[in-house]
Amino acid sequence: MKTKCVKNEFVWDFMRPEVATIDSEALLGEAMQEMGELDVHHLVVLNEGKVVGLLEARDLARKSTLHAKVRDVMRVPIPLVDEEMDLSKALAVMLDYRLTALPLVRKGKLSGIVTETDLLRLLQICLDKNRGRDRILACADAWLSKPLLSTLVEVLGNAGI
């Protein structure tokens, strides 16, 4: 994941290209085992190679039997979001569908996933950068009284930094 926090980011900047998948006919016990082995909380559900749903760990907690099929519990419909979508729009989709992960496609084929954990990492980066900027601004008066620093701040400002 990139370590910057700027406007107009695309969802592919923050996606994971490795996607854990499971067949819609698999049993929930298999899904639970797969999630445990891969240390993931989401499985993209496929049927004949096409994305048909999403299984989240919280979905498994709602079902009392592990002998049910994934198709009986998976979240449907789920949006397939193009990896070039603006990140803020992708977040809106996740919120609208109440998803903790969003499968991404490129030219109609599954290409990655962005999860709530990925977005929390981005939030942490943004908060850390803003805290640094706020500390700089709090000291700006003292710094700007010195000619060299004043020139440096002006040059950095003109460069968009």
Q: Tens of pLDDT along 45-78?
A: 999 989 999 999 988 887 767 788 999 999 999 9
Of 53, 55, 56, 73, nearest to 64 by C-alpha is: 73
The Cα angle at residue 153 between residues 147 and 156, in degrees rounded to 5: 140
Single-letter code of the amino acid located at 130:
N
Tell me: the pLDDT tens digits for 9-48?
A: 778 778 888 999 999 999 999 999 999 999 999 999 999 9
Distance CA 74, CA 59 (A): 7
The rounded Cα 22 to chain-centroid distance in angstroms is: 20
CA dihedral (34, 115, 112, 79) in degrees, to 10, reads: 100
| Confidence tier at 140 by pLDDT (50, 70, 90) | low
Q: Give the predicted TM-score (pTM) of the model.
A: 0.73
Distance CA 13, CA 16 (A): 9
Helix (H, G, I), strand (E, B) or coil at 53: strand
CATH of domain 11-112: 3.10.580.10
Distance CA 113, CA 14 (A): 9
Tell me: the pLDDT tens digits for 82-122?
A: 989 988 888 889 989 999 999 999 988 999 999 988 888 87
C-alpha distances out from residue 2 to 16, 67, 86, 117, 119, Å: 11, 41, 15, 14, 12
- Residue 32: per-residue pLDDT: 93
Helix (H) or strand (E) holding 50: strand 50-56
- Residue 159: per-residue pLDDT: 62
- Residue 62: per-residue pLDDT: 76
Give the mean model confidence (pLDDT) for residues 5-12: 65
Low-confidence winner among 3-7, 14-18, 133-137 (lowest mean pLDDT): 3-7
